[in-house]
Structure 1
Amino acid sequence: MTRPQPEVVVLVTMTPDQRQESVRVSQVILPEKEERQTPYTLEEFSYDYFRPPPKHTLSRVMVTKNRGKDKLWSCSREPLKQPLLKKVVNHEELSQEACMAFIAIMKYMGDYPSRRTRAVNDLTDQIFEGALKDEPLKDEIVCQIIKQLTDNHVKYSEEKGWELLWLCTGLFPPSNNLLPHVQKFLQAKKHHLLSPDCMQRLQKALRNGSRKYPPHLVEVEAIQHKTTQIFHKVYFPDDSDEAFEVESSTKAKDFCHNISGRLMLKSSEGFSLFVKITDKVISVPDGDFFFDFVRHLTDWIRKARHVKDGGAAMVPSLTYQVFFMKKLWTNTVPGNDSMADSIFHYYQELPKYLRGYHKCSREEVHQLAALIYRVKFEEDNSHFQTTSKILKDLVPQDQIRLQSPDDWKRSIMTLFIKQSGKTREDAKLSFLKIIYKWPTFGSAFFEIKQTTDPNYPETLLIAINKHGVSLIDPKTKDILTTHPFTKISNWSSGNTYFHITIGNLVRGSKLLCETSLGYKMDDLLTSYISQMLTTMTKQRTSRGNK
């Protein structure tokens, strides 16, 4: 009996989907004038860093037969019993993990029996999760993937191996010892469609460092659909959106920079990316890899749901949206950046104003209503016929009942006529210039309950802005007190609370707030204080250099 060809063996181990894909791949006609180069292998690297092959005590004939099997750096259709690298072999836990990862690689490439129904990133998680936790496994996984791409004569399997190498080069760089060998391997395979892209991704991984989480579903789906460019829709406060390319190595800071460049903003300072998932909107830290953050967030929410539902039901895939907004308003002055005023500042400040969070005079309310009307309808005054219907979009909710609809109509229309000739953009700027004078401009407002301080009402409005943390009476809108950031010594948050300590940790006063938005308050306070400390350090440095 003779062993069937690898192409036949591999068809048996594939899932029906993989078999279908294999037929499609095998029908792709490659260019005839393909430059054939001698393939580069990990043989040279293996002499110093691979474990020695098993010793054979059999006849010379058997040794000749086994020689192919001893090429540890060459493609194998058998699972590994031990890791490839010496540095992993002696570590029992890592050894086990390395061998399991190799089976997952074989399953992904269609070289090992696998069940059909699984999430798109199940196998990629199994392959890369260990390597992202334990440094020695990084080189092990890179070697395993290159091994399976060396002398692999099954077209489908080879293509799937290239997908894994593409994902891998976007996650982490190999060690300095392995790096030149990976580069030579890619150089020798430069005719392959993914090779130049893998080379670029490798350079970026060397520059930006290692990711923390395995590839996001979006990355895995992209490469499985033969797409090396991933475009992400980003939403803006003015209800517009645009698509931006996001790479595996893109950090939130780079993403913000790209967006502000495209929108022709004068600076990306104070802006942030936010991910909206289920009922939460969470800011992406500047230094985080974008896909790492989204991956971490979806995993966290999935686990929380799983526990809540008793782990019985299959959790559906979580969809998310990405927003780009102004987060820190420290240096925001209306008129300094017309694009930022038009797309962000106006549309972010308007809802807070209409919710009635600011203290303002009747005259200001009339003026602002006329400006909001102009932004909505420009010179078209026909909507004044139905003033009662549009009042909620023009006047703070707590002020609507202070006048009859007819009185509102008269007051607003008089000022609207006075402002004749103003463009929509002029009206936005005028609106911002009025609000800018208020101490609560650029605030994030939080409605909370407190019982720790009898001097304050039980229901409080907290505003976090460039001045610090203000406590506001929700009825009168009076600012009861403002705690500057320099006086805040400690804070913490949970699902149902936000705690803050003002002044000395021993003698300071504590405010315990009941809120479901503690995570937002915590993040905002951290960001403002971090910005303040950075500014102080810069000022000290510049003084020292003078």
Structure 2
Amino acid sequence: MASLVQYSKVRGTVGRSQTRGPAPWPCPTPIQESLINFSDEDMNRQAVESFQALMQFMGDQSKPRGKNELDLLYRLLKLCQEKEDLRDEVYCQTIKQVTGHPRPKLCARGWRFLSLLTGCVPPSNTLMPYVTKFLQDWGPRQELAQSSQEHLQSTVKYGGRRRLPSPGEMQAFLKGQVVHLILIHLPGGVDYKTNIRTFTVAAEVLQELCRQMGITDPQEVQEFALFLIKGDGELVRPLWPQEYLNSVLGGPDVSLHSRRLSWETRLHFDNPTYISTHYGQVLQDYLQGKLGLSPQEDARLARLAALQQLSRNKEEPPSEQDLLAYLPRQQQWQMNVATVKSLMGRELRQLHGCRAQEAQISFIKAVSKLPLFGYTVYMVLRVSNPALPCPGLLGLNRQHLVLMDPSSQELCCSIALRDLQRLRLLSPLEAEGSPGLELNYGSADNPQTIWFELPQVGGLHAL
């Protein structure tokens, strides 16, 4: 503590507080000058006011008329977010007030604020070792010191919670209600429940989710993402790994989903949850016609339909009408369903005895050979180059952007993302119109521009 006291009196050069001797810890009355030496008088004034607000929040002083504890909290946290030079001052003030406080209830409120502060903004690199040591020393005796240390580590790693907690969340935090249950919807109708805290970020939940699927390779974890979905399926946007979940989950009618975005890591089938979620995702993409299977490939269509039937623990051939549920919807009118049904019956006889999970694995392996597997795929309504197919399938992964003719399954355009100079989302001219995507690519000597009109572009933010 002595080194922290010294820091609060001396910052860079000899500070003016060195002339007045160390103040008692905690301070029973408001300070008249900042703990840290500021040459700017306005900064000194704000430091004095923040200390008074801290004492009022803790209960060492009465609150101003018309102000409640949340008003004081927001004032202090907002000050630290907006005035980086004052962060160390507020850290020192808080530590000063919780050290040796004679009233446990008021001291606990100071610790609660420190726990919030460490989750929102970090101290400077100069003060960081002192704050860390202080929290470590108090950890065995004070539970909130342990949580403050965890919050500080998360803030250093992820940048701190930029959007302050809502009043309801802040009130719950002050009461110690820092954990709540969320539901994550996975492909295939699987729901995953987990608890998150005030400062939980998307990356932490994804790591936990991947562990449940037997995924421990950090590179493979990065191939998954969380998405916000509004209403009955409208994509809001994918979440960045460093986003704090409580900052984005407060909207009405918003749900949280997860899916795999890239497929560069070798697939493995050693976990039942891994198998079911991957099967659910590739099945959905397949049935939506997003993987580049020609409607004339009767044998492949029949085998994939048979594997879907076996995945449901059914071995008998379906009716022609029920078979349609196993075929890509947008291409059904181009298929000879009767021929596919006959071939499917033969496949079911050959696959007799295949268990549901084995069928799911075989389906994933078969689909992984299709040309657009591993791409995030969008339907293209129009394209600026008249020589390219329209409508078409636009596929995106971390290396390439490709355009496929859905009828011939021919790749008509391929752009390496390393050659991409700019990607710009275009708003529709009319409210009910379709958005667009403009790409500038190529070299300085040969610049190229192309635009696509798409029904949806939300997932492009993940690139």
Task: Calculate the TM-score normalised by the size of structure 1.
Answer: 0.66
Aligned runs of 1:427-442 on 2, under 5 Å? 427-442=359-374
3-state DSSP of counterpart to 2:318: helix
2:197 aligned with 1:235: no
1:258 maps to which residue?
Answer: 208
Change in CA separation of 1:416 and 1:77 when aligned onto 2, cut-off 3 Å: farther
In structure 1, how many angstroms separate the alpha carbons of the residues matched to 2:424 and 2:235? Answer: 18
Specify every segment of 5 or more residues in structure 1 that has no aligned partner in the other structure, as ranges: 1-38, 56-66, 299-315, 525-546
In structure 2, how many angstroms separate the alpha carbons of the residues matched to 1:362 and 1:95? Answer: 79
2:146 aligned with 1:213: no
How large is the Cα RMSD of the aligned pairs? 4.2
Amino acid of the structure 2 residue aligned with 1:347: G
3-state DSSP of counterpart to 1:242: strand
In structure 1, how many angstroms separate the alpha carbons of the residues matched to 2:408 and 2:293? Answer: 8
Structure 1 residue 127, shift from structure 2 partner = 2.3
Contact 2:401–2:417 (CA under 8 A) maintained in structure 1: yes
Contact 1:341–1:428 (CA under 8 A) maintained in structure 2: no
Q: 1:299-353 CA distances to partner (integer Å, 9 max, x unpaired)?
A: xxxxxxxxxxxxxxxxx855754433211122445x5666576133322111121
2:216 aligned with 1:280: no
Amino acid of the structure 2 residue aligned with 1:86: N
Structure 1 residue 211, shift from structure 2 partner = 1.8
The match for 2:394 among 455, 462, 469 is 462
Contact 1:272–1:326 (CA under 8 A) maintained in structure 2: yes
2:10 aligned with 1:48: yes
The match for 1:502 among 431, 436, 441 is 441
3-state DSSP of counterpart to 2:88: helix
Structure 1 residue 196, shift from structure 2 partner = 3.7
Aligned runs of 1:112-261 on 2, under 5 Å? 112-113=63-64, 115=66, 124-150=73-99, 152=101, 156-175=105-124, 176-177=126-127, 179-180=129-130, 183-184=133-134, 187=137, 191-202=141-152, 204=153, 208=157, 210-211=159-160, 213=162, 215-217=164-166, 220=170, 223-227=173-177, 232-244=182-194, 252-261=202-211
In structure 1, how many angstroms separate the alpha carbons of the residues matched to 2:235 and 2:65? Answer: 36
Change in CA separation of 1:108 and 1:222 when aligned onto 2, cut-off 3 Å: same
Change in CA separation of 1:90 and 1:516 when aligned onto 2, cut-off 3 Å: farther
Amino acid of the structure 2 residue aligned with 1:169: T
Q: 1:37-80 CA distances to partner (integer Å, 9 max, x unpaired)?
A: xx99975554435764999xxxxxxxxxxx9xx948534576x7
Structure 1 residue 395, shift from structure 2 partner = 1.0
Q: 1:440-486 CA distances to partner (integer Å, 9 max, x unpaired)?
A: 11221112344521212454321113662111235554432222334
In structure 1, how many angstroms separate the alpha carbons of the residues matched to 2:344 and 2:361? Answer: 18
Change in CA separation of 1:368 and 1:165 when aligned onto 2, cut-off 3 Å: same
3-state DSSP of counterpart to 1:455: coil
2:288 aligned with 1:355: yes
In structure 1, how many angstroms separate the alpha carbons of the residues matched to 2:65 and 2:73? Answer: 14
Structure 1 residue 161, shift from structure 2 partner = 1.9
The match for 1:373 among 309, 321, 340 is 309
Change in CA separation of 1:150 and 1:445 when aligned onto 2, cut-off 3 Å: same
Structure 1 residue 105, shift from structure 2 partner = 3.8
2:222 aligned with 1:267: no
Contact 2:302–2:341 (CA under 8 A) maintained in structure 1: no
In structure 1, how many angstroms separate the alpha carbons of the residues matched to 2:293 and 2:409? Answer: 5
Change in CA separation of 1:104 and 1:475 when aligned onto 2, cut-off 3 Å: farther
Contact 1:183–1:199 (CA under 8 A) maintained in structure 2: no
Change in CA separation of 1:515 and 1:402 when aligned onto 2, cut-off 3 Å: closer
In structure 2, how many angstroms separate the alpha carbons of the residues matched to 1:359 and 1:503? Answer: 30
3-state DSSP of counterpart to 2:208: helix
Contact 1:354–1:392 (CA under 8 A) maintained in structure 2: no
Structure 1 residue 98, shift from structure 2 partner = 4.4
Contact 1:51–1:86 (CA under 8 A) maintained in structure 2: yes
2:258 maps to which residue?
Answer: 324
Q: How many residues align?
A: 441
3-state DSSP of counterpart to 1:194: helix
Amino acid of the structure 1 residue aligned with 2:289: G
- Is 189-198 or 393-402 further displaced after alignment? 189-198
The match for 1:342 among 269, 275, 281 is 275
Structure 1 residue 232, shift from structure 2 partner = 4.9
1:530 maps to which residue?
Answer: none
3-state DSSP of counterpart to 2:94: helix
Amino acid of the structure 1 residue aligned with 2:147: D
Task: Calculate the TM-score normalised by the size of structure 2.
Answer: 0.77
Amino acid of the structure 1 residue aligned with 2:263: W
Change in CA separation of 1:221 and 1:440 when aligned onto 2, cut-off 3 Å: farther
3-state DSSP of counterpart to 2:123: coil
Contact 1:124–1:215 (CA under 8 A) maintained in structure 2: no
2:432 maps to which residue?
Answer: none
3-state DSSP of counterpart to 1:454: coil
In structure 1, how many angstroms separate the alpha carbons of the residues matched to 2:415 and 2:130? Answer: 56
In structure 2, how many angstroms separate the alpha carbons of the residues matched to 1:427 and 1:262? Answer: 22
Change in CA separation of 1:421 and 1:485 when aligned onto 2, cut-off 3 Å: same
The match for 1:399 among 320, 331, 338 is 331
1:307 maps to which residue?
Answer: none
3-state DSSP of counterpart to 1:170: helix
Structure 1 residue 378, shift from structure 2 partner = 0.7
Q: 1:141-188 CA distances to partner (integer Å, 9 max, x unpaired)?
A: 212323443565555543322211112233444343474367447736
In structure 2, how many angstroms separate the alpha carbons of the residues matched to 1:209 and 1:486? Answer: 27
Amino acid of the structure 1 residue aligned with 2:285: K
Q: 1:387-428 CA distances to partner (integer Å, 9 max, x unpaired)?
A: 53x445311113334568776655534433332211112111
Change in CA separation of 1:341 and 1:155 when aligned onto 2, cut-off 3 Å: closer
Specify every segment of 5 or more residues in structure 2 that has no aligned partner in the other structure, as ranges: 428-434
Contact 1:449–1:513 (CA under 8 A) maintained in structure 2: yes
User: Larger % of strand: which?
Assistant: 2
